[in-house]
Amino acid sequence: QVQLQQWGAGLLKPSETLSLTCAVYGGSFSGFSWTWIRRPPGKGLEYIGEINHSGSIHSNPSLKSRVTISLDTSKNQFSLELSSVTAADTAVYYCARRVIQILNGNWFDPWGQGALVTVSS
Amino acid sequence: DIQMTQSPPSLSASVGDRVTITCRASQGVNKYLNWYQHKPGKAPMLLIYSTSSLQSGVPSRFSGSGSGTNFTLTISNLQPEDFATYYCQQSYSSFAFGPGTTVTIK
């Protein structure tokens, strides 16, 4: 059973760079996309971006200029960097695996446990 | 961009009740609609994918239906562990989530 475990700095100052890593246990990178999603306080879930096993990256256009997603297949990990953070980036950040099936679409499963990132001066 | 709405935003129900949550898309998403359960402090969990397919390990009291722009998640015989927030998510075009429906204990 695939499990995701994530970690990273929880308190940042404005203009700093958010950095989170997600480790994948019990499964392969191949055939899936590896995704970052966040939930700001009091708001819904927002797709940040993803990287597939080949290293192709797709990002939310609203965040694209600040997002870097990378993959380390030797460690079975993928990472998110979000530059120039502001208070609006305060959120719980989740990593997730995106499963793709040609006939049924795609979905996120499983998810990491989440990491609260607070941006405050 | 496709926008997702859910109703109601919250509901209060009792153990044993039948609960229905509605999700609407601003344009057709075919059958590409998924449902997740999220409990505070826990990882969101996939319940249903492709409108009505139950994810492995999910109790059969959860069911999904719909097509196009209108979808429903039904929980029959609500159990104590079902009190949570439920999100719909379309995968027809990008990955928009609904705002969530919180199910609380009456």
| Residue of chain A whose Cα is closest to the Cα of B85 | A44
Tokens for A81?
A: 């960097």
B58 touches chain A (CB under 8 A): no
Each residue's pLDDT tens digit, A17-40:
999 999 999 988 888 999 999 999
Q: Any idea what the Cα angle at residue B55 is, between residues B85 and B95, rounded to 5°? A: 60
Q: Are the beta carbons of A45 and B87 separated by less than 8 Å?
A: yes
Sequence-ordered list of residues with C-beta below 8 angstroms from that of A56, at least 6 positions apart, any chain: none
Q: What is the distance in angstroms between the Cα of B77 and the nearest Cα belonging to chain A?
A: 25
In chain A, what residues touch B96 (CB-CB under 8 Å)? 47
Residue A93 near residue A118 (C-beta atoms within 8 A) = no
- Give the model's pLDDT for residue B94: 85
What number is the average pLDDT over the span A72-78? 93
Percentage, residues of chain A above pLDDT 90: 84
Candidates A37, A50, A62, A107, partner chain B, best to mutate (most B CBs within 10 A): A107
Provide the pairing of β-strand B45-49 with B53-54: antiparallel
Give the number of residues written for chain A.
121
Each residue's pLDDT tens digit, A77-92:
999 999 999 999 999 9
In chain B, what residues touch A111 (CB-CB under 8 Å)? 43-45
Each residue's pLDDT tens digit, A50-71:
999 889 999 999 998 999 999 9
Q: Reduced to 3 states, what is the DSSP secondary structure of residue B77? A: coil
| Residue of chain B whose Cα is closest to the Cα of A93 | B43
Q: Are the beta carbons of A105 and B49 separated by less than 8 Å?
A: yes
Residue B68 near residue B30 (C-beta atoms within 8 A) = yes
Q: Reduced to 3 states, what is the DSSP secondary structure of residue B53? A: strand
B42 touches chain A (CB under 8 A): yes
Q: How many CB pairs under 8 A join A and B?
A: 65
Q: Is B10 left (phi over 0), alpha (psi -120 to 50) or beta?
A: beta
Residue B34 near residue B89 (C-beta atoms within 8 A) = yes
Tokens for A64?
A: 């694209």
* CB nearest to B46's CB, from A4, A45, A108: A108
What number is the average pLDDT over the span A1-18? 95
What number is the average pLDDT over the span B57-69? 97
* CB nearest to A47's CB, from B42, B55, B95: B95
* CB nearest to B98's CB, from A44, A105, A109: A44
